[in-house]
Chains A and B, each alone.
Chain A
Amino acid sequence: MNKRPSSASMPTSLKREYVPSADDVLVGWAQQGDTEAFEQLVFRHRDKIYARAMLMMRNEEEALDLSQEAWVKAWQRLHQFQGDSSFATWMTRIVINLCLDQIRRQKKTRSESIEQLEEDAGGVERQMPVEIINPTEGLEKTELRRRIDEAMSKLTDAHRAVLIMHEFDGLQYKEIADRIGISIGTVMSRLFYARRRLASLLQSLRRERAE
């Protein structure tokens, strides 16, 4: 591992101020091997990166492992970061790619593949109402956030991944298709299914709480 330049040995005027420095400044220092600058970046963005892994994997242990792996990869590839996007966006891409790789490796449960077949055949969509009634009306923000999280945990990995990449990372259909390695049509289909399912789950949760 590269050693950081010893701030103790620097003249006072050259001491680096990590906390108030902007991300791009910290990245520049980290690219020179300054691990203290990198640590500051980890501190700033660790929750976001971990949250993305947790949303994708729905497993605390895996999320911790993958988020840490993402930081190690970022350190190793820091010289490739050109600042075309923000550092947070670049990091998010790394962790999402790691999660997608992990999901592919796991080739999850049988129930998911059945659901996938139903989706491809349009079976589930036919069984669901066409309209998406706003299930979020009248809910407090904290409650709504909790319900969305709960509902998302009930989606399959394939549907959740598309939904997260689209809604939280703001990726377009083509970007999602390229990242996952599926067609744009499949992205659209999965996104539509995920939204309907989410709406339906939110409605169910609402009904359950009301009873």
Chain B
Amino acid sequence: MTQISQTIMKTETCLEIQAYVDGELDASRRAVVERLCATDSEARQLSDGLKALRSAVRANEPEIHVPESREFYWSQIQRRMSAASATAPTTDTGAAWTQWMRWLVPMAGAAAVVSLLTLPGREGQTTTTLASMSPAPTYSAPASSVIYRSDTDGVTVHWIN
């Protein structure tokens, strides 16, 4: 066995012993470690050392206290809670608007397509071009409607009376 594989084996054994101490092994693996510890003094020493350290650390969790008065600490939390609740409705509104837009956008597109397909012919219709818009070719629309179109802006507005 090479030096490297011995080191790997050793590390694996150490981790197995640690898992045994931490109660992480099933019955069969536990039995293997117990046999090892019974016959190998190095393994037993490691197991005992880990157990001692583990119980010492668990029983002596450092005592740390909030370095501020109860009132001041709570007032800071309260302020954050208020700030969080003040911003929450904005987020909710935004989310609700996004939900609406998911439906509105495709519906508006579909409505536009339908309106273009169902527009009647040119006869008997009037067209008005806004002064602020560039001259546009006449668009067909019913007599009761007015159309504004801007080629430069790529905008067409149907005004139905």
Closest to A48 in B: B64
Instruction: Check if A192 sits within 8 Å of B18, measured CB to CB.
Output: yes
Partner of B80, one of A68, A149, A152, A191: A68
Instruction: Check if A42 sits within 8 Å of B77, measured CB to CB.
Output: yes
For residue A195, CB closer than 8 A to chain B, the reply is yes
Chain B residues 29-68 with CB under 8 Å of chain A are 42, 45-46, 48-50, 52-54, 56-58, 60-68
Partner of A149, one of B62, B68, B70: B62
Instruction: Check if B45 sits within 8 Å of A131, measured CB to CB.
Output: yes
Instruction: Check if A46 sits within 8 Å of B66, measured CB to CB.
Output: yes
For residue B7, CB closer than 8 A to chain A, the reply is yes
Q: In the complex, which of the residues A51, A126, A132 has the most CB atoms of chain B within 10 Å of its own CB atom?
A: A132
Q: Which residues of A contact B7 (CB under 8 A)?
A: 122, 126
For residue A161, CB closer than 8 A to chain B, the reply is no
Q: Which residues of A contact B54 (CB under 8 A)?
A: 167, 195
Tell whether A68 pairs with B64 under 8 Å between CB atoms, given A189-B15, A199-B53.
Answer: no
For residue B160, CB closer than 8 A to chain A, the reply is no
Report, as a range, how many residues of chain A touch the other chain: 35 or more
For residue A94, CB closer than 8 A to chain B, the reply is no
Closest to A53 in B: B64
Q: Which residues of B contact A136 (CB under 8 A)?
A: 52-53, 56
For residue B81, CB closer than 8 A to chain A, the reply is yes
For residue A125, CB closer than 8 A to chain B, the reply is yes
Instruction: Check if A55 sits within 8 Å of B62, measured CB to CB.
Output: yes
For residue B82, CB closer than 8 A to chain A, the reply is yes
Q: Which residues of B contact A39 (CB under 8 A)?
A: 74
Instruction: Check if B11 sits within 8 Å of A134, measured CB to CB.
Output: no
Partner of A134, one of B14, B53, B78: B53
- Proximity bits, A1-38, B CB within 8 Å = 1, else 0: 11000000000000000000000000000000001000
Instruction: Check if B66 sits within 8 Å of A168, measured CB to CB.
Output: no
For residue B10, CB closer than 8 A to chain A, the reply is yes
CB distance from A104 to the nearest CB of B (A): 22
Tell whether A72 pairs with B53 under 8 Å between CB atoms, given A51-B64, A122-B7.
Answer: no
Instruction: Check if A51 sits within 8 Å of B62, measured CB to CB.
Output: yes
For residue B8, CB closer than 8 A to chain A, the reply is yes
Instruction: Check if A72 sits within 8 Å of B81, measured CB to CB.
Output: yes
Partner of B60, one of A2, A148, A199: A148
Q: Please measure, in the bound complex, the distance between the C-alpha atom of A185 and the C-alpha atom of B19, giving whole angstroms.
A: 11
- Proximity bits, A34-60, B CB within 8 Å = 1, else 0: 010001001100110011001100001
Instruction: Check if A42 sits within 8 Å of B74, measured CB to CB.
Output: yes
For residue A69, CB closer than 8 A to chain B, the reply is yes
Q: In the complex, which of the residues A54, A60, A72, A166 has the most CB atoms of chain B within 10 Å of its own CB atom?
A: A72
Tell whether A68 pairs with B57 under 8 Å between CB atoms, given A131-B45, A173-B24, A192-B18.
Answer: no
- Proximity bits, A185-211, B CB within 8 Å = 1, else 0: 100110110010011000000000000
Q: Which residues of A contact B8 (CB under 8 A)?
A: 122
For residue B22, CB closer than 8 A to chain A, the reply is yes
For residue B84, CB closer than 8 A to chain A, the reply is yes
- Proximity bits, A139-175, B CB within 8 Å = 1, else 0: 0010011101100100000000001001110001100
Instruction: Check if B65 sits within 8 Å of A50, measured CB to CB.
Output: yes
CB distance from B18 to the nearest CB of A (A): 5
Q: Which residues of B are interface residues toward A (Cβ below 8 A)?
A: 7-8, 10-11, 14-15, 18-19, 22, 24, 42, 45-46, 48-50, 52-54, 56-58, 60-68, 70, 73-74, 76-78, 80-82, 84-85
